[in-house]
Amino acid sequence: MTVAVRSFAKINLGLEIGPRRPDGFHGLRTVYQTIALHDRLRVEVARGIGIEIRSNDPRVPCDESNTCWRMAERAMKALKARGRVVIHIEKSLPVQGGLGGASSNAVATLLALERGLAKQLPSAERLRLAAEVGSDLPLFLVGGTVLGVGRGEQVYPLEDLPSLDCVIVTPEVGISTPQAFAEWDRRQEAGGRMQETGKLTAAAASDKLVGSSHAVCAWLSGSSTGVPAQRGGDRAEALLLDLVHAGIENDFESVVFPLHPELRRVKRALAGAGAGYASLSGSGSTVYGLFRSRELAQKAALRLGAEGMPAVATKTLTRREYWKRLRD
Ligand code: C5P
């Protein structure tokens, strides 16, 4: 049997980094939002044993370091299935781009295997497997607008934002997430030395996470109660204004922008082209802008493209659209 699925990308609407935990991960708070850009996967279970990965993109690893491999291994075991798993990844999303491509591919592998084998794991088991493979996987088992806490793997469906037009720009700069976290720590420690003790820094980081929860809450409740039930551009504009007013930001910008100033220029260019809100996604290198209309987003993508920035106009996906399109 062969099953074909779409594997969508995400952006982060704000990302607050907390203290480093004893397990080496960082506590964080973020709002994930799925978007329409996607890879395509074909997953086949044939006679035999083992896992094989093929991709049109030579940058995709085809060994056990691939998240799809790690998921296929776990999923076959959990589903008590046998066979040779062949995964074809038709890559359109950037590799290491901050759009969660590899994480999304792994979740797509799980969903395709379940469908192909006509078996389903309980959702708690799915979430457990996903979190084991990586912090950014579980969000793709929810889709739409998702709150991420813990190390990002604890996910809660939020009231979906309406579909928003956006422009995604991914400059050819490879950013490693572990390195970005390490650089964050280095800067925190340098800052912390000026404070009395390291403990104080950790406490301040925890407080900051609570503050960011309040900001997200203010933004989301402002948008659901403060904005009259308008359609289209007005509603999008009000939401974006709320987002800016709530002060929601991505902490990775303070680490990544000084190292790659061209990304800060992209953010400015998006704002200059009319984005209501612009930000780095994850640890980058993707920078996105949210726009109040499709027309504005398309114009902005053209303008940035003409200035040599690889920009594409797309839209955010609500939970319903995400699941519908994934299976179509
Ligand atoms: O979970 P994931 O495989 O995406 O994490 C990759 C690396 O990123 C981890 O090994 C860790 O170094 C870093 N990380 C972190 N804090 C998080 C998520 C990831 O320090 N919340």
Question: What are the DSSP calls for 24-54, one per residue?
Answer: S-EEEEEEEEEEEEEEEEEEEEESSS-EEEE
**Contact present, 183 and 324 (Cβ < 8 Å):** no
| CATH number among 3.30.2130.30, 3.40.50.620, 3.40.640.10, 3.30.70.890, domain 165-319 | 3.30.70.890
Residue of 105, 128, 181 to mutate, ligand 1, most atoms within 8 A of C-beta? 181
Helix (H) or strand (E) holding 243: helix 232-245
- Residues sharing a CB contact under 8 Å with residue 113, sequence separation 6 or more, in sequence order: 3, 43, 45, 72, 75, 76, 79, 81, 85
- CATH C-level class of 2-160+321-327: alpha beta
What pLDDT is recorded for position 104?
98
What pLDDT is recorded for position 240?
83
What pLDDT is recorded for position 211?
67
User: Whole-model pTM?
Assistant: 0.92
* C-alpha 166 – ligand 1 centre gap (Å): 27
For atom 20 of ligand 1, which residue has the closest CA? 25
The residue ranges of every structural domain in the chain are 2-160+321-327, 165-319
What pLDDT is recorded for position 237?
80
Residues serving a catalytic function are 10, 136
28 lines ligand 1 (CB under 6 A): yes
Residue of 12, 16, 23, 26 to mutate, ligand 1, most atoms within 8 A of C-beta? 26
Q: Do 2-160+321-327 and 165-319 have matching folds? A: no
Tens of each residue's pLDDT in the chain, 328 residues: 899 999 999 999 999 999 999 999 999 999 999 999 999 999 999 999 999 999 999 999 999 999 999 999 999 999 999 999 999 999 999 888 999 999 999 999 999 999 999 999 999 999 999 999 999 999 999 999 999 999 999 999 998 999 999 999 999 998 999 999 999 999 988 876 655 555 556 666 666 666 666 777 777 766 544 444 455 567 778 888 888 888 889 999 999 999 999 999 999 999 999 999 999 999 999 999 999 999 999 999 999 999 999 999 999 999 999 999 998 8
Task: Give the ligand 1 atom nearest the CA of 133.
Answer: 3
Amino acid found at 221: S
143 lines ligand 1 (CB under 6 A): no
Helix (H) or strand (E) holding 65: none
